[in-house]
Amino acid sequence: MTSRTGLEQVRWGIIGAGAVAERKSGPGFQRAERSSLVAVMRRDGTKAADFARRHGVPRWYDDADALVADPEVDAVYVATPPGSHREHVLRAAAAGKPVYVEKPMARTADECEEMIDACAGARVPLFVAYYRRAMPRFVRVKELLDGGAVGAVRAVAVRLQRPAPAWEGGEMPWRLQPEIAGGGLFVDLGTHTLDLLDHLLGPIETVAGTATNLSGLSAAEDHVAAAFTFASGVVGTGLWAFDAAHPRDEVEIVGTAGSLIFSSFGEEPLVLRTARGEERIDAPYPEVVQQPLIQLVVDELTGRGTCPSTGESALRTARVVDALLEDHRARTEQGVAAAR
């Protein structure tokens, strides 16, 4: 396979070297083969310098334009909150540099389309950090489904519930501010599962449901109920509740010969139930959760493979989210300007 970028090694720069880059992704750029992390950026230069020092990164910036313009940065990872994803992706595309952007890809599908168009116009690849597509835990799930472990897949049921979020003083977390995040915890967490189902079962073709805020803690949705149909004919339901007494995290994929049950965010074994009984299959997380996907991004950039998480695949998830949140956004007149 020939690389579209002509790169043999990928030197990365991070825009937004915060908590996610600290442990979920940053070390992955350093551990992946044919990959290195050469520059980081935060608006707070002191924090950028501290990240660089602790992680052995040669350069730091407090200005995104300066990082993108760095001639030794081959590709850019955008790890800021979603409200600035579009801005930074367009900046990197204008510089002719491939982009790997955090999930959710943007606040709305319209913003996602702008990002895709900009990267297509600049002829640079765009990848999105829906890293469950590459995690060994979910690679095993896909192997089981593709191998017929549950027979022909007919249905899927998703349930994610958590107690209401709490924070001590100060500003409300950005994940609960629709103008920054595009929504609330459904957008932050629920999109992981929706994107994974797109990967496992194919695109969602129709979706209907309702979103509301019952806790009053923020303007964001905190309860979402959905029914959806995949292009393959598989039917699905989802319930996301973020004001619940007890946590629950379960996806059940139902087939003609059995069921496969697993969590989206836990590390407990997968559960396969068939006529032969119940089998528990170990499927732990890797030490750096994004490293497997980062490796696939690097593989594509260096002509050694393909990455399964792209702007186009993430756009499909954004469209599902927009459909489910449309009425809630309209009712509350909150969220991003593009959704009003």
pLDDT at 334: 46
Q: What is the dihedral of CA 148, 149, 155, 158, to 10 degrees?
A: -130
Structure tokens at 50: 């501290």
Structure tokens at 119: 């990267």
pLDDT at 3: 63
Evaluate whether 80 touches 42 at the Cβ level (below 8 Å): no
Evaluate whether 239 touches 225 at the Cβ level (below 8 Å): yes
- The contacts of residue 200 (CB under 8 Å, 6+ apart) are 138, 141, 142, 145, 253
Listed in order, strand segments (DSSP E) in 144-290 are 153-161, 204-212, 223-230, 235-241, 248-255, 258-262, 270-274, 277-281
Per residue of the chain (340 residues), give pLDDT as tens: 556 678 999 999 999 999 999 999 999 999 999 999 999 999 999 999 999 999 999 999 999 999 999 999 999 999 999 999 999 999 999 999 999 999 999 999 999 999 999 999 999 999 999 999 999 999 999 999 999 999 999 999 999 999 999 998 888 999 999 999 999 999 999 999 999 999 999 999 999 999 999 999 999 999 999 999 999 999 999 999 999 999 999 999 999 999 999 999 999 999 999 999 999 999 999 999 999 999 999 999 999 999 999 999 999 999 999 999 999 999 987 444 444 4
List helix spans (H) across 74-147.
Answer: 85-94, 109-122, 136-146
* Cα–Cα distance measured from residue 283 to residue 292, given in angstroms and rounded to the nearest whole number: 14
Evaluate if pTM is beyond 0.85. yes
Nearest to 260 by CA among 269, 249, 271: 271
Helix, strand or coil, per DSSP, at residue 307: coil
Query: Domains in the chain, start-ordered, CATH in brackets?
Result: 10-130 (3.40.50.720), 136-285+318-339 (3.30.360.10)
Measured in Å, how far apart are the chain's first and last C-alpha atoms? 44
pLDDT at 170: 81
